[in-house]
Structure 1
Amino acid sequence: MTSVGVVTPFWLDRPPAEALDIAVNADLAGFGTLWIGEMATFDAFALATAVGLRTSHISLKIGPLAAGVRSPVALALGLSTVVTTTGRRASLALGASSPRIVRDWHGRPWEPVRRVRQTVRDTRAVLNGNRMAGFRMQAPLPGTPISVAAFGPAMTRVAADEADEVVLNLVGAGHVTRVRAELAELTRVPPPIAVWLPTALDPGPATIRQLREQLAVYLAPPGYGEMFSALGHGDLVARARAGTPRSELAHDIPVDLLEAVGAVGSATAIARRVEEYFEAGASHVGLVPATADDPAARTLLTTLAPLVQGRSS
């Protein structure tokens, strides 16, 4: 079974509060799932609580959050706060994130594989009501799904071993097929794959610029850079890792790279692109809506919802 949801984007050129309006528009358009990540604006659990109080039915997937930043107890308490205060279904997604976020922003050691594996196991145990270091949740959330963001062989193995779902961001459809095959080799019952897909409906220059500026952020981090290199853009990755200013990198990102990892064009073309990811092996596609020319993605979400009706869960 496949489904289409919405990802709350954190565009660098848009006001932070737009995230709430996007959530409301996704809910009104009939999408059933909203992903809420975390960048440089809101705490994800606080934002998810606000979303739950302003919407009527949409379920919440919080993350992928950096596994090395919060303890399993903090993650479980955050999720419990969202579920209890909103009455909404909510699940959790975790990932390695990047050295800059984990080590530089939060002052935690960068140990991606070990930290993600242990955090998933321990958080699952806490959510299930097990006692850990003397702590036990008063209102456990047993069976809560935990998704894992995976890039590269090591993290794919962690996801195969520990995840209820694998999350991929900024990837082409061919990459989904490869990851699906890797998971099938690693485990008897591969977890389903969710893909975050930057989406722009009939984009103008401002939207293309928005997509370029955001993608430039991901050129240097481990995993992302290797994937972009595999798509034939190793020169951009090398420049990003050498310290080239992000504005220069964004200017040089070709449209064909945006198209390789996103859905850009007419509503029909976007719907076809989403279908490509399902055919490649994805079970869920989260649309990351561009908003430079479409505030709070109102037009994009209302236009695309009928085209993915039956999948928007």
Structure 2
Amino acid sequence: MTSVGVVTPFWLDRPPSEALDIAVTADEAGFGTLWIGEMATFDAFALATAVGLRTSCISLKIGPLAAGVRSPVALALGLSTVVATTGRPAGLALGASSPRIVTEWHGRPWEPVRRMRRTVRDTRAILNGDRVDGFRLQQPVPGTTISVAAFGPAMMRVASQVGDEVVLNLVSADHVTTVSKALHGPDGVPTPPVAVWIPTALDPGPDTLRQLRSQLAVYLSPPGYGEMFTALGHGDLVARARAGAPRSELAQDIPLSLIEAVGAIGSADDIARRVDEYFAAGAGHVGLVPATAEDPAGRRLLTTLSPLLTKGRR
């Protein structure tokens, strides 16, 4: 069974409060899942609580959060608080993040693989009601799904071994196929299942394309992403990014073909077909990241796409 959800984006050129408006729009449009990440605006658990109190039925997936920043106790307390105060089902997603965020912003050591294994193991145990290092959660949430965001081979192995779901962000359908085959579950179904986030824009104009290009420019140089973009034929951009070219300069040179390779843009039918391509590649869930530069809160996108993408799915 496939499903389509919505991701709360944190566009740098949009007001932070738009995240709440997107949540309300996604709920009213009938999408079943809302992903709530964390960047430089809101605490994810606080935002998820606000979303739960302002929406009616959409389930919440909190993260991916940097596994090296919060302890398993803090993660379990945050998830439990959201569920208890909103009455809304919620899952948790964790990712390695980056040395800049983990070490520079939060002052934690950068040891992504070891930290991910331990964090998933201990957080799952605490949420199930077990005592871990002397701590027991008074309001456990047994059976909480813990998704793991992955890209490189080391974290992909960890995600496949300890995660309930593998999360991929900003990847091509061919990359999803590669990951799905590597997970080689029974009957060709990946185990664990794969979720993928894709930037999405309905009939994008120049401001929307500028927004999408600016986001893509951030991902040109990191390991894994750079290699994927190179394989897609954009090695010159990757080389310039890794040589220190300004992000604004790189963004101007990102071609439409690269946006199309890792996203879903165009008419409603174009987007629906693109989502189906990701499902055909092996994804079990697609999270739409709505572009909002010319479509505040993604209202036109989400209300138009919901009948095409959620019928028979949640």
TM-score class, shorter-chain normalisation, is over 0.9
The residue that corresponds to 1:26 in the other structure is: 26
Whole-Å separation in 1 of the counterparts to 2:227 and 2:115: 21
Whole-Å separation in 2 of the counterparts to 1:228 and 1:105: 28
Whole-Å separation in 1 of the counterparts to 2:190 and 2:307: 32
- Is contact 1:95-1:149 (8 Å) kept? yes
Whole-Å separation in 2 of the counterparts to 1:219 and 1:5: 26
The residue that corresponds to 2:125 in the other structure is: 125
Unmatched runs of 5 consecutive residues or more in structure 1: none
Q: In 2 relative to 1, CA 100–292 (structure 1 residues): closer, same or farther, beyond 3 Å? A: same
SS of corresponding position for 1:26: helix
Q: 2:276 is matched by which residue type in structure 1?
A: E
**What's the offset of the Cα at 1:74?**
0.5
Range moving further from structure 2, 237-246 or 277-286: 237-246
**What's the offset of the Cα at 1:230?**
2.4
**What's the offset of the Cα at 1:123?**
0.8
Q: 1:17 is matched by which residue type in structure 2?
A: S
Give the aligned CA root-mean-square deviation in angstroms.
1.6
The residue that corresponds to 1:57 in the other structure is: 57
The residue that corresponds to 1:205 in the other structure is: 206
The residue that corresponds to 1:153 in the other structure is: 153
The residue that corresponds to 2:234 in the other structure is: 233
- Is contact 2:180-2:190 (8 Å) kept? no
The residue that corresponds to 2:265 in the other structure is: 264
**What's the offset of the Cα at 1:310?**
2.3
The residue that corresponds to 2:112 in the other structure is: 112
**What's the offset of the Cα at 1:243?**
2.3
SS of corresponding position for 1:167: strand
- Is contact 1:157-1:183 (8 Å) kept? no
Whole-Å separation in 2 of the counterparts to 1:103 and 1:240: 22
Q: Deviations over 1:242-272 (max 9, x none)?
A: 3222111111111111000000100000000
Range moving further from structure 2, 93-102 or 256-265: 93-102
- Is contact 1:67-1:115 (8 Å) kept? yes
Which structure 1 residue ranges, 4+ long, deviate > 3 Å from structure 2?
185-189
**What's the offset of the Cα at 1:311?**
4.9
Whole-Å separation in 2 of the counterparts to 1:90 and 1:188: 24
Task: Provide the aligned length of Structure 1 versus Structure 2.
Answer: 313
SS of corresponding position for 1:70: coil
Whole-Å separation in 2 of the counterparts to 1:240 and 1:99: 18
**What's the offset of the Cα at 1:27?**
0.3
Q: In 2 relative to 1, CA 185–234 (structure 1 residues): closer, same or farther, beyond 3 Å? A: farther
Whole-Å separation in 1 of the counterparts to 2:189 and 2:179: 14
SS of corresponding position for 1:199: strand
**What's the offset of the Cα at 1:239?**
2.3
Range moving further from structure 2, 296-305 or 117-126: 117-126
TM-score normalised to the size of structure 2? 0.96
Q: 2:51 is matched by which residue type in structure 1?
A: V
- Is contact 1:98-1:222 (8 Å) kept? no
**What's the offset of the Cα at 1:312?**
4.5
Whole-Å separation in 2 of the counterparts to 1:30 and 1:258: 27
**What's the offset of the Cα at 1:220?**
2.4
- Is contact 1:156-1:183 (8 Å) kept? no
Unmatched runs of 5 consecutive residues or more in structure 2: none
Q: 1:228 is matched by which residue type in structure 2?
A: F
Determine if the alignment matches structure 1 residue 100 to structure 2 residue 100: yes
Whole-Å separation in 1 of the counterparts to 2:146 and 2:312: 21
The residue that corresponds to 2:218 in the other structure is: 217
Q: In 2 relative to 1, CA 66–132 (structure 1 residues): closer, same or farther, beyond 3 Å? A: same
**What's the offset of the Cα at 1:134?**
1.0
Q: 2:247 is matched by which residue type in structure 1?
A: R
**What's the offset of the Cα at 1:149?**
0.5
Whole-Å separation in 1 of the counterparts to 2:36 and 2:273: 25
Whole-Å separation in 1 of the counterparts to 2:190 and 2:198: 25
Whole-Å separation in 2 of the counterparts to 1:70 and 1:58: 25
Whole-Å separation in 2 of the counterparts to 1:227 and 1:189: 21
Among all aligned residue pairs of Structure 1 and Structure 2, give the percentage whose two residues are the same amino acid. Answer: 79
- Is contact 1:197-1:285 (8 Å) kept? yes
SS of corresponding position for 1:62: strand
TM-score normalised to the size of structure 1? 0.97
The residue that corresponds to 2:290 in the other structure is: 289
Q: 1:50 is matched by which residue type in structure 2?
A: A
- Is contact 1:176-1:277 (8 Å) kept? yes
SS of corresponding position for 1:195: strand
Q: Deviations over 1:250-309 (max 9, x none)?
A: 111111110000001000000000000000000000000000000011100000001113
**What's the offset of the Cα at 1:139?**
1.1
Q: Deviations over 1:193-235 (max 9, x none)?
A: 0010100000000000000111112222333223222222222
Q: Deviations over 1:98-135 (max 9, x none)?
A: 12211221121111111111111111111111111111
